Every structure is written in structure tokens, then in C-alpha cells.
Amino acid sequence: MWAGIGAGAVYGLSIRALSANPHLSHRLGDAWISPLLWVMSVAFIIVLPFSMGYITIGIRARKSHVGILARIFGPWVAVLLALAICAMAIWEGAICIVMLAPIALLCASLGGLVAGTAVNPKHPKSALLSIVLVGALPFASTPLERRLSPKPDIRSVESSIEIHSDAATIWKNIERVPAISTEELPAAWNRAIGFPRPIEATLDHEGTGGVRHATFAGGVLFIETVDVWEPLRRLGFSIRADTNSIPPTTLDEHVTVGGPYFDVLHGEYILESVSPDVVRLRLVSRHRVSTDFNWYARLWTDAVMRDVQQSILYVIKNRCESSG
């Protein structure tokens, strides 16, 4: 089994190294795209883990029967080992590894289950041929995937919180956001996986056309142009990430804001009266996801955006209620 786990991990790492080779790639925005296999593809996040799982169990199944639990969880060891080495080699950031792990583990288990059924120790040559063919699947599926152009998916995420304060105080705390200390922020999983924390938001002048600079840790800057200005009711702004100011060490190239795969487009605060001394503050944002697997990527982008928004609303609520 350990020989199979090692083979599965080495196979996956070899393909990751191949996709990162600049001599075999061209640059798309902030990312490298390999003509053979690129990271942000169905071939990489689904087919490759399936093949890793098949190889892991197939090598063992050539010798003897493999139990169900081993078929399911044996491939996990190969995938987790490969991901750990990718992290140590700084091939992937924490955000990408966390996002990839669930679907990679699922697909690896599926590959292990198929191998445990298909590979027969009585026919070792046929078993070896099946392992070679499955190992070639990621490369075979890439030309088919290249025929499909990813369509941008515009997502809308809304968060809300009830604040025991008046609308004027809340408005003052959203049009400009003074520097946020780390002690003011609640525990949030988005920062635990590497997303930068919010720092402050400035405004050059009030009214439509005003420009806000929303700063996040790690040199992340969003330039926000006010396009909705209804004092005490609504504050909306289009968002453009200042990609030139974001160091490559802040965010993984595959999740860089304003990059080819992800961008934040618009934000809006909405104040709604709940009672004479309670206001519901809603924060609605729109973002773009442009991958070959939007059906999966959007689960993560929605969750990250919602978690970031909840943190910001938490700070605003505490500031408004403590000032009263």
C-alpha cells in the first residue's frame, strides 16, 4: 500500500511541477497556463486526483484484494502528502490548498474505488495497462477542456446585522472606516486560510463620484468609486482592485483579486429601520468567478466574501453601539 501511496503522490507532484514550468507555459494575467495541463482546470482539480487515487490503489490491487476502507482512505494519504509538499515548496498558497482539498479527496476516493473493482490480480498485465491509461487521463482531457471557454459567473452575496444605534451614527461609520485594529475583528476562517484582514476605508469627498480607498493587509487596495449616495439610506460603489499594489506573496496567483479567475466588482450598504432604536445594516457585494469549474469555485468565493462582510459588519456594529 505504501508503494501505491508513494507512486500516487509522486505522480501528482510531477504533473504539478510540469504545469509550473515556465518553459512550457505562457502567462495569463497573474497566472501561468501550461499547454499540457494548467492548475485552474477540471483536468487538474478532478481528473488528476481521480488518477492519483486509481494509481494508489491499482498498484496494491495488482497483488491482492484491497478492502473498501483502504480504497476510500488510502488515496487520501497520497493527496494530502502531495498537498503538503506543494505547500512546503510554495507551489500553492493556503487558500488554494484548502479550497482544493475537499474535491481532490472525494475524486481520489472515487479513483480508488474504481481501481479496487477494475484491477484484477489474476491479470497483472491488464492491470498495469489500466494504470498507465488512467495516468494519461488528465492530459487526454485537456484538449477537450480547451474547447470550452469559461463564462464569467457574476455572484451576489449579502450579509446583514442589526445595530442598536441611529442611522446617522451608522452612516458616519460606513462612509469612512477609520483604521481597524486586530482586536476589533472577530475570529474568521477566511483570515485563517490566508485572506488579508481589512484595515481602513477613506473617502476623498462626499457624494456621487467620491473615491474610497479600502485597504487590506498585505498591500491589497480596492479603489471604490461612489455611484449610489443616499445619506442615511444607501451607499454604493463600484470596485477596482489596484493589482499593481498587491505583492505576489499576499495572495496565491490563482485567487488574486482582479486576476483572470476572480474579481470584486461592486459593494453597497443599505440601512433599514427595524424599530426606533434599531437599524438593520445590509452589505451586498458582487464578484466575478471565471473558471472551468465555477460550480465548485463559487461555493468558496461566496463563503469567503460572506465571511469578510460579516467581519466588517461586526466592527461597524461594535463601533456604533459603543459610541452611543
For 189-225, the pLDDT digits (tens) are 989 888 889 999 999 999 999 999 999 998 889 999 9
Q: Give the strand order in the sheet containing 262-275.
A: 153-163, 278-289, 262-275, 234-241, 220-230, 211-216, 198-203
pLDDT at 1: 80
pLDDT at 40: 81
Residue 70 pLDDT > 60, yes or no? yes
More confident call, 159 vs 91: 159
Spell out a b/e string for 124-136, using b for 16 or more CB atoms within 10 Å of the CB, else e: eeebeebbeebbe
For 253-284, the pLDDT digits (tens) are 667 777 788 899 999 999 999 999 999 999 99
Residue 26 pLDDT > 50, yes or no? no
Q: Which three cell numbers stand for residue 20?
A: 509550473
More confident call, 113 vs 26: 113
Look at the block and give the residue holding cell 461609520: 173
Share of the chain above pLDDT 90, in %: 64
Band the pLDDT of 20: cuts 50, 70, 90. Answer: low
Q: For the residues 286-293, what does the mean pLDDT come to?
A: 92
Query: Where do the domains of the chain lie, and which CATH numbers do they carry?
Result: 2-146 (no CATH), 153-323 (3.30.530.20)
Residue 35 pLDDT > 70, yes or no? no
pLDDT at 31: 47
Q: pTM for the complete prediction? A: 0.84
pLDDT at 93: 79
CA angle 213, 217, 221 (to 5 degrees): 30
214 contacts: CB under 8 Å, gap ≥ 6: 177, 198, 200, 201, 221, 222, 224, 239
Share of the chain above pLDDT 70, in %: 90
